[in-house]
Amino acid sequence: MDTDQLTTRVADQLGAQQRLLVAFSGGLDSSVLLHLLATLRCQRPGMQLRALHVHHGLSAFADRWVEHCRRRCADWQIPLTVTHVQVDARQGGIEAAARAARYAAFSAALTEGEVLLTAQHLDDQSETFLLALKRGSGPAGLSAMAARATLGEHLLLRPLLGCSRQTLESYAQRHALTWIDDDSNQDTRFDRNFLRLQVLPQLNQRWPHFASAVARSAGLCAEQEQLLDELLAEPLQSLLAADRSLAIDGLTDCSPVRRFALLRRWIALFNVTMPAREQLQRLWEEVALSREDAEPQLQLGAYQIRRFRGRLHLLPPLAALRDVHLPWQPDQPLTLPDGLGQLIAGEGELVLRAPQPSQQVSVRFGGVQGAVRIVGRVHSRPIKKLWQELGIPPWQRERIPLIYYDEQLIAALGVFVCEAGQVPEGERPWRLRWEKKS
């Protein structure tokens, strides 16, 4: 494949996209991609091209790599952003953690309408396929990498995915490119390096078209997954509520194969790591089918799947708020913890009796004990029974702001008002607005 063919291939992959962010490590692959795009920019005057280098802090040479990337981008007149990240190797190992940190940096750097380009190639596809095979993945995992994907709301393109590393090396030599050789790429303790250095050379020597065959198999797996997505889209939608919880009843009569396929597609809506088959089995048997009075849950990394009133809920990490106590001067908005928004006094649909000048207003979360009497009820009810009657899931009960005047519970915002918070006849009500984050 000559230079013109490679440039045409990248141009075809881009289509009409004009605002491009390139993941630029400074290695061979991303150097070739960035140079190709810089060349293509001459043919597309409207193209906006910039690069992002992620500094992991894992190598003693990382600062040198930054300087190399700065020089190349200066030579090619491409704006460069350098982002420093922290890599937590406890999260699935150093390779997975570094990848997660990189993609989080990419996602944060992308601006509206911008497309991310990464430089994975045909040999990378073989490595990804074999790693998925080693993990016992199904068709979704064996689909490996797609030439077009998404990262949040942004398009992710891999325009070199059909090109071999040898093709990229030939291009780099022809254009006298220089690039970084990461010393860690020679460390076969890392699974990907082990495949690249010790396994794939033998496979490619025995079967010269092995990488192309793997790419075809990955493509066929991707087609099967796409077909299942299309066939199951309507049944899945029928099981979903507005909060994306999933009806258990709609799964009970399904075959195990269909049930697990629906559960996987439901979990995929949340962009979390897909559970293994054994975890899906536990999800069904220990959570979905547990006894009615249980509060079962399955941990998926930092996320949880829980059941409430015949539905499965997938929950993001939630901070413990039971001990939070926020004094509030109502003449100022109050910012709530853990992304719960803010409270604004003097406006809104939440109506309480006004606090006395001597009373301290505070906001708390959970920890209510004993019985509570609310407006509209003749008798008091134990708080746990009250939450149940009002249909509040257990994990939300500590995330509803509780208004106190001194030590007296006045209201659970948006859920109930205690008798002590009822507006006396003839008095002006105190209005509150809970401005939740979207």
**297-312 residues labelled b (16+ CB within 10 A) or e (exposed):** bbebeebbbbbeeebb
CA distance 378 to 419: 10
Helix (H) or strand (E) segment spanning residue 108:
helix 94-109
28 is in an annotated binding site: yes
Token pair for 176: 């006298």
Instruction: Find the helix packing angle between 165-174 and 28-41, rounded to 10°.
Output: 60
| Residue 150 falls in which region: left (phi positive, over 0), alpha (psi -120 to 50) or beta | beta
Report the sign of the C-alpha dihedral through residues 186, 192, 196, 200, in that order: positive
The pair of structure tokens assigned to 346 is 């003097």
293 is in an annotated binding site: no
Shortest CA distance to 313 belongs to which of 239, 241, 245, 243? 245
| Ligand-binding site membership of 414 (annotated) | no
Beta strands per DSSP E along 70-182: 80-84, 115-117, 148-151, 154-157
Give the contacts of 37 (CB within 8 A, at least 6 positions apart): 10, 20, 22, 47, 49, 117
The DSSP symbol for 90 reads T
DSSP 279-334: HHHHIIIIIITS-TT---EEEETTEEEEEETTEEEEE------TT-EEEE-TTS-E
Q: At what angle do helices 122-134 and 210-239 cross, to 10 degrees?
A: 60
Q: Is 366 annotated as a binding residue?
A: no
Contact 419, 356 (CB under 8 A): no
CA dist., res. 51 & res. 114, Å (int): 12
Sign for the CA dihedral angle at 306, 149, 20, 112 comes to negative
Does 362 count as an annotated binding residue? no
58 annotated as belonging to a binding site for a ligand: no
Nearest by Cα to 117 from 52, 21, 225:
21
Question: 212 with 220: CB under 8 angstroms?
Answer: no
Query: What residues are designated binding site for ATP?
Result: 25-30
Query: What residues are designated binding site?
Result: 25-30
